[in-house]
Structure 1
Amino acid sequence: MRGQDANFATGIADVYARLLVPMLFEPYAADLATRIAAFKPHDVLETAAGTGALTREIASHLPDAHLVATDLNAPMLEMARAYLPPSVKRRVADAQSLPFDDASFDVVACQFGAMFFPDHVLAYSEARRVLRPSGRFVFNVWDSLAANPVTAAISDVLMQRFPDDPPDFMARVPHGYHDADRVRHDLADAGFHDVRIMHVDAIAPMASAHDAAIAFCSGTPMRHEIDERDPGGIDDAIVAVTSALEARFGQGRIDAPMRALVIEARV
């Protein structure tokens, strides 16, 4: 994990919430929330909540639950406030050092955040610590770039654009933790058992190649990689990515396949 990999500053958070969340995160948020609701929890903690895509779904499925949403990035949580009911508590917190007592929650949830944890076992151990006996840890991570063709295409374009120093954020972080055996091993080291790992397919709805280019180039920490290699060149990168996506997927709306791993583990 590099210094800017988890930096979702305000400018990035805006684009992330407006474009990337509907494209990538809403379908999987509905999936996770349905799974979580089946356990009928009373106290739910979400780590790496971002701008609240999963938080909203959990609140909708479990309106009477005590729900706490945490994230390392204050700008993301601040943006989430506009989308969440006032009953949801928000708190800036590191998933590797949770500011909660032992055995405080029935479920810990995390949507596409585990890939960013510098120490997976430590973060999972913290999730286990704050869970009650028989509590559940429910989360998802992206499958490989090969199983997510739009993301793979965008990564390829940017790597070709900067051949001497190819940006590798997408391959290294969001899509760098997709080995089910590794995930299972890390959870076991943290003390979890009854681990279930499922591959879940969904469709990413994108209004246009241009919207997708803006979302990925400006709404993720990949923006930092572009700025480092070409200061002020974000618009040129968006043009290049748009052109490549249109050549591959056509103009107009794109309904692209995507795949994630969904994990359930029990204390």
Structure 2
Amino acid sequence: MTDCDQVFAGTIPRFYDTFMVPLIFETYAADLAALVAAAPPGAVLETAAGSGVVTRALAPKLGAGARYVVTDLNQPMLDYAASRQGPDSRIEWKQADALNLPFEAASFDAVCCQFGAMFFPDRVAGYAEARRVLRPGGRFIFNVWDRIEENVFANDVTDAVATVFPHDPPRFLARTPHGYHDVALIREELARAGFAGVQIETREKLSRANSARDVATAYCLGTPLRNEIEVRDASLLQHATDRAAEAIASRHGDGPVAGKIQAHVIVAAG
């Protein structure tokens, strides 16, 4: 992972929420919210909340007296998430590093994290922090993407953008979002962090968009892939987006498009 892999700033949060969230995140956010709410928690911590897609799905499922602390490393993303959520006295918004949480031990009944663990520089440390702030019997519920080959649009975009930079292809999507898919490694790292009970389910879903252009815009403008493109040649951002749109349209059609997505959903108990 490079430094720019974690930079969600500028217009990225807006493009991310407008295009990426409905494309691939909303359906898994509903799953995560249902898992968290299944054993009604009195206090929930969300890490790496991004633009707040899980927050919007989970908040309506929590009790009136629940405490819900929503955190992210990136203040611009957290600000965007808070603006989308609207007033809710149960929610506290706080910039925080998942590897160094500013909370007392045994403070929460559940910790949840949607597609954030892949970005942790030290995943065992991040998992250990989640376990530290959990109360006895609490659960750490999170998800990670499966390998990029099981996620059609991400793979299409990566291949298409590589043709624009053949000598130095941007590999953000394969390297980071889709770079942590080994189930045995996930189990091992959770065990090293002190989690004794781990359940992992691989869930396949269908990603849909109104057009190939929307998919290309989502990935090229709404993720740190944009940073990788601009570092190489900012003048080629539009060209790279066009090339991705053309590749998706040639494979999936000119109208509404659909492609397979796949992720691992993990429930860990201390």
Give the letter for the 1:67 counterpart: Y
C-alpha contact (below 8 Å) 1:16/1:219 kept by paired residues: yes
CA distance in 2, matches of 1:81, 1:117: 23
Q: Which residue of 2 aligns with 1:144?
A: 147
Count, aligned residues: 267
Give the letter for the 2:244 counterpart: V
CA distance in 1, matches of 2:23, 2:61: 21
Q: Which residue of 2 aligns with 1:42?
A: 42
C-alpha contact (below 8 Å) 1:108/1:136 kept by paired residues: yes
Ranges in structure 1 where 5+ consecutive residues have no aligned partner:
none
TM-score, normalisation: structure 2? 0.97
Give runs of aligned pairs for residues 53-72 of structure 1, distance below 5 A: 53-64=53-64, 65-72=66-73
Q: Which residue of 1 aligns with 2:170?
A: 167
CA distance in 2, matches of 1:10, 1:18: 14
**Pick from 86, 95, 98: which aligns with 2:98?**
95
Shift in Å at residue 124 of structure 1? 0.3
Shift in Å at residue 159 of structure 1? 1.6
CA distance in 2, matches of 1:164, 1:256: 28
Shift in Å at residue 63 of structure 1? 4.1
**Pick from 105, 115, 130: which aligns with 2:118?**
115
Give the letter for the 1:13 counterpart: P
C-alpha contact (below 8 Å) 2:42/2:63 kept by paired residues: no
Shift in Å at residue 20 of structure 1? 0.6
Give runs of aligned pairs for residues 2-17 of structure 1, distance below 5 A: 2-17=2-17
CA distance in 2, matches of 1:151, 1:40: 35
C-alpha contact (below 8 Å) 1:41/1:106 kept by paired residues: yes
C-alpha contact (below 8 Å) 1:52/1:83 kept by paired residues: yes
TM-score, normalisation: structure 1? 0.98
Shift in Å at residue 10 of structure 1? 2.8
C-alpha contact (below 8 Å) 1:10/1:76 kept by paired residues: no
Which runs of 4 or more aligned residues in structure 1 lie more than 3 Å from their structure 2 counterparts after TM superposition? none
**Pick from 252, 257, 260: which aligns with 1:254?**
257
Shift in Å at residue 82 of structure 1? 2.2
Residues 159-168 or 257-266, more deviating: 159-168
Q: Which residue of 1 aligns with 2:189?
A: 186
Cα RMSD for the two superposed structures: 0.9
CA distance in 2, matches of 1:252, 1:238: 17
Shift in Å at residue 100 of structure 1? 0.3
C-alpha contact (below 8 Å) 2:252/2:258 kept by paired residues: no
Residues 1:134 and 2:134 are matched in the alignment: no
C-alpha contact (below 8 Å) 2:29/2:54 kept by paired residues: yes
Query: Secondary structure of 2:213's match?
Result: helix
Ranges in structure 2 where 5+ consecutive residues have no aligned partner:
none
Query: Secondary structure of 1:232's match?
Result: helix
CA distance in 1, matches of 2:58, 2:138: 16
Give the letter for the 1:72 counterpart: L
CA distance in 1, matches of 2:63, 2:237: 41
Q: Which residue of 1 aligns with 2:209?
A: 206
Percent of matched pairs sharing the same residue: 48
Shift in Å at residue 67 of structure 1? 0.6
CA distance in 2, matches of 1:19, 1:70: 22
C-alpha contact (below 8 Å) 1:5/1:169 kept by paired residues: yes
CA distance in 1, matches of 2:260, 2:168: 29
CA distance in 1, matches of 2:236, 2:92: 38
Q: Which residue of 1 aligns with 2:21?
A: 21
Shift in Å at residue 160 of structure 1? 2.2
